[in-house]
Structure 1
Amino acid sequence: MLRSTLALTCAVSSLTLAQAEEVRLKNQPYGEDVRQQFDLYLPDEVSGEKRPLIVFVHGGSWQSGDKRQAWTKRRLFLDRGFAVASLNYRFWPDVTAQGMVEDIAAALSQLIDGADQFGIDEDRIVMIGHSAGAHLVSVLGTNERYLEAAGLSFDDLAAIVSLDTGRYDIETSLEGVSFSPFGGGDSALFGNSLDEWRDVSPLRRVVDGENHPAFLVVAAADRPESDLRTQVRPFLSRLFGAGVQSDFYRAERRSHVGLFQRFGRENDPTTKTAIAFMEDVFARRQASKREDTWSLAPSVMKGTSAAPRPLGTADSLLAPWQEGFAVTRSGEDGLTRLDFYDPAQNQWTDGLIFSDDDRPGSALFTATVETDRRGAPIAATPFLLIGTSQESRPLASRAPRLYTLTPSDMTAPEAIELGTPIKRPIDVSITAFGQHRDSVTGADLVFAAASPASAGIYAAGVAPQDHRRLVWSDQPEFTGRPLEDITGFATCGGHFFAGSANALYRRIDGPRPQWTVLSNLRVDPAVRQLARRAGFPWRGMETLGALHCGTAKGQPALVFGLHNAVLSADLERGRVTVETDLRDLALTDQGLAVLHASLERAATLNQQTEQEEVVFGLSFTLGDAASTMSADPDGSPSTGYLLSRHAHPTETVFSIEAIDLKGKDAATPFGAVTGLAVHHQPRAAQAAIFALGRNAALAHRPLGR
């Protein structure tokens, strides 16, 4: 094999990468034969980040075709930051299919050799083949001997996109055809023995537990049913059975030829499916490369001076505080505790024990105030806010109550009652906290939402004369409809938003603020359909979960959970998009049969517009006792789940990660992840994500660079 560098015959020979509108390296040889050449196209915008590579392998019945067929496909992928290669290979009858696969492996090896020179990410290489090319790349993705002969392995391939072939099992497709070494047509093309046929039969080469690349199998609308029955479906079944990440797409209204003609166009459904699939594969590979081993913090019951503390079933909450975390938890003794965890020392310290009269822990939040109520700058002052939940009692009047702590006084929290006491026998609680700097007054404000909805949303700021206390408004800024609890706040695009299961609201800043409806979720058709599918007993009892500022198609958007789904709403008109069904995702990703799913908390891992990554804690109600979620004899699940949302400019990709949180030191197992935070240890080289379980087990893992 000829091992030349990629710089041999640059078609734009006098220009640097940064100067060229599009860099084209044409007719790069990877062997001695005139057909052993490839073209490489690089995006015109040069950044410091490495780019994924797509390698096109053309079709043509193994005896015709040319790499120039990818010319019209390149632009869309270049615009999305991909490098694009297209290669020629030798044809039948000069070589058999085995020789063609050897050619493709040799070309791939040379492209990888030049990866550093041209900024190609060796962990994100995808091969896309059409027709005969689809068969050849599928062989490469299932028979590692061809890669090994070129000095490569399955690790060098992220994914295979197979665009419409009916040759996944040569033995079956040529059933009844005799072997002939002298011009035996198809039989000789694939070899002259059964072993040779099987050598280039992707179906026969899939191995359980092998590190095969991911597969997207595409079938055109005119693909014969006989091929689907004997080739496509058995191949997919074999991939699934071997644990290979794989998916199938039927290109409706696309013929075998039309499928490839339209591939690479902006609005082509097959292209959109392929891009989404590749981005999902890349996200999974990136996650698998991390130092993703979860470690358990010591049990909160250990290392404290208090007596052993049995943990109850109420949710525990987590909030960053000083150089560690504050955690609220409820014990079986009826008392709620606030403890503190120091990641640097990996130990707990006692905080506060609250009486049975009110139960802190309905909401927990850290706010840092840097301007007073007039908008004047002040020294940054942190506050820890603890919301309470008070059960209804006959003839008792109760007002929503919260506590605040400051670093200067950690032993005597200030109790604040919001508004006037409610005289009805009804539960009263703080449901959410938030923070926002008023764009008109410049004041840093802290917000508390109270339940019942008639209690409303209250705002607080620090007075110019006393920066150690939050001063709360006497009257709510906003009151919701009956039975409409505000359960989340988010600052997004310079605006402040609140959310309930019925609506999303936007605050109009100023000395006399107002709240307007951004989106009426009760009448939105997509949300109504989700609500109908929710089923008893959740229908009508749903709450909005984990309201978060994210991106959708490259634009700021509100992201939230509702009715077993993840949704997003644009900030201008409040248009709602259903992004994924959590129950379907739990089944495909983790094998879980889920009756009800909700988002609990959110933490941002990567805030780059081009590739934002946010994780959410998940809470599942299982509908199948035989699911893969492990459980103690008492039925308490010992696995927690996180949802990762990777937002790209064109697609949003989701995956679910399982965490074994029982461990030998965990106080009790738990299922829901109710607290999430990213912690940057002072002077440490790496950040870590912390996940808190419903029953106060705390796990953490480093974040990859």
Structure 2
Amino acid sequence: MRTKLLLIAALAGGFPAVAIVPAAIAQATAPAPREIAYGADPLQKLEVYPARARGAPLVIFVHGGGWKRGDMGNATGASKVQHFTGRGYAFATVNYRLVPAASVEEQAADVAGAIAALLSRARELGFDPAKVILMGHSAGAHLAALVATDPRYLAKTGIGLDRLAGVVLLDGAAYDVPAQMAEAGRFMHGTYEQAFGTDPARQRALSPTLQAAAPNARDFLILHVERDDGTRQSEALGRALQAAGARVTVQGLPGRGLRGHMAINRQLGDPDYPATAIVDGWIDTVVGAR
């Protein structure tokens, strides 16, 4: 079996030095995660793996699950943790309160609260607070996009959208909630109505595409698989963000239906999965330019 190699950045004499370390060694020496509560509810907590080298990026992952299920223990995907910590990054995965006990507005507030809690600990966790990447899958992609387009959520924590270096969205399909609900089949309509209700004004307020007028986070990578709704929604969000002045890359990946939708989450971080190199290159470009 070929040895997998990881590039791990360290700082030496003020300049970045690169060491090549076998993946098995990198994983064995990965820092243990820390649990941080960012609110009083039992679900308002996150796990974070501190950076291995000072000044590393932080990737914050928001899980999916139709806004009503999932958690950081079963919906993050082991490959992400191993891959990003292997690159030397800090990596955090976030729990949030779930529908119907909480509203989608409260879920977005939870994501914002988790970001603020991590930024307040940047020094102790070893990451560069100017190199924060927010990432989400499915419903988590919707929540990440909402926090990155509607400044009110982060503003309530005392920080601005400029604290996000970039946003990675993995196969979301509810960036324009009214359009998605109008096109959804019977299988998903109940999930959308439970999350977004029937009030058109509320649905628009919870639609990142319809909240994409500036200000927004500055850089977006929007990935989707071969699903008609995910493709339409991703492309429309990309156009709206570009029109508002954001830098946006929208890219499709192989994989159809639910199988492809799950694969983009579970396999991101696997060096043989196409999205891994795409995300790595995009993060390197975004944080290297700041």
TM-score by length of 2: 0.81
1:31 aligns with 2:36: no
Corresponding residue number in structure 2 for 1:219: 224
Change (3 A) 1:217 1:185: closer
TM-fit CA distance, 1:227:
4.3
Measure, in 1, the Cα distance between the counterparts of 2:273 and 2:159.
Answer: 33
Measure, in 2, the Cα distance between the counterparts of 1:114 and 1:227.
Answer: 35
Q: What secondary structure is seen at the aligned counterpart in 2 of 1:77?
A: helix
Corresponding residue number in structure 1 for 2:234: 232
1:56 aligns with 2:61: yes
Question: Which among 159, 165, 168 is matched to residue 158 of structure 1?
Answer: 165
Structure 2: segments with no counterpart, 5+ residues: 1-27, 185-189
Corresponding residue number in structure 1 for 2:112: 105
Q: What secondary structure is seen at the aligned counterpart in 2 of 1:174?
A: helix
Question: Which among 132, 154, 158 is matched to residue 125 of structure 1?
Answer: 132
1:147 aligns with 2:149: no
Change (3 A) 1:64 1:185: closer
TM-fit CA distance, 1:176:
8.7
TM-fit CA distance, 1:107:
0.8
TM-fit CA distance, 1:195:
2.3
Measure, in 2, the Cα distance between the counterparts of 1:176 and 1:283.
Answer: 40
Query: Is the Cα contact below 8 Å between 2:134 and 2:166 reproduced in 1?
Result: yes
TM-fit CA distance, 1:187:
2.7
1:79 aligns with 2:83: no
Mapping for residues 274-285 of structure 1, pairs under 5 Å:
274-284=279-289
Structure (1/2) with the larger strand percentage? 1
Question: Which among 241, 244, 253 is matched to residue 243 of structure 2?
Answer: 241
Query: Is the Cα contact below 8 Å between 1:22 and 1:42 reproduced in 2?
Result: no
Q: What secondary structure is seen at the aligned counterpart in 2 of 1:124?
A: strand
Q: Which entry has the higher C-alpha Rg, 1 or 2?
A: 1
Measure, in 1, the Cα distance between the counterparts of 2:50 and 2:183.
Answer: 47
Corresponding residue number in structure 1 for 2:195: 189
1:199 aligns with 2:205: yes
Count residues in correspondence: 253
Measure, in 1, the Cα distance between the counterparts of 2:168 and 2:212.
Answer: 16
Mapping for residues 234-383 of structure 1, pairs under 5 Å:
234-253=236-255, 255-284=260-289, 286=290
TM-fit CA distance, 1:26:
3.6
Q: Deviations over 1:500-524 (max 9, x none)?
A: xxxxxxxxxxxxxxxxxxxxxxxxx
Q: What secondary structure is seen at the aligned counterpart in 2 of 1:258?
A: helix
The percent of aligned pairs where both chains have the same amino acid is 30
Q: What secondary structure is seen at the aligned counterpart in 2 of 1:23?
A: coil
Query: Is the Cα contact below 8 Å between 1:123 and 1:158 reproduced in 2?
Result: yes
TM-fit CA distance, 1:191:
4.3
Letter in 2 for 1:24: A
Corresponding residue number in structure 2 for 1:488: none
Query: Is the Cα contact below 8 Å between 1:53 and 1:126 reproduced in 2?
Result: yes
Structure 1: segments with no counterpart, 5+ residues: 1-19, 178-183, 287-705
Query: Is the Cα contact below 8 Å between 2:225 and 2:252 reproduced in 1?
Result: yes
Q: Deviations over 1:234-284 (max 9, x none)?
A: 211111222211101111136111111111112221011011111111123
Measure, in 1, the Cα distance between the counterparts of 2:230 and 2:56.
Answer: 36
Stretches (4+) displaced over 4 A: none
TM-fit CA distance, 1:40:
0.6
Letter in 1 for 2:242: F
Change (3 A) 1:211 1:259: closer
Q: What secondary structure is seen at the aligned counterpart in 1 of 2:246?
A: coil
TM-fit CA distance, 1:211:
4.6
Q: Which has the higher contact order (CA 8 A, sep 6+)?
A: 2
TM-fit CA distance, 1:59:
0.7
Letter in 1 for 2:240: R
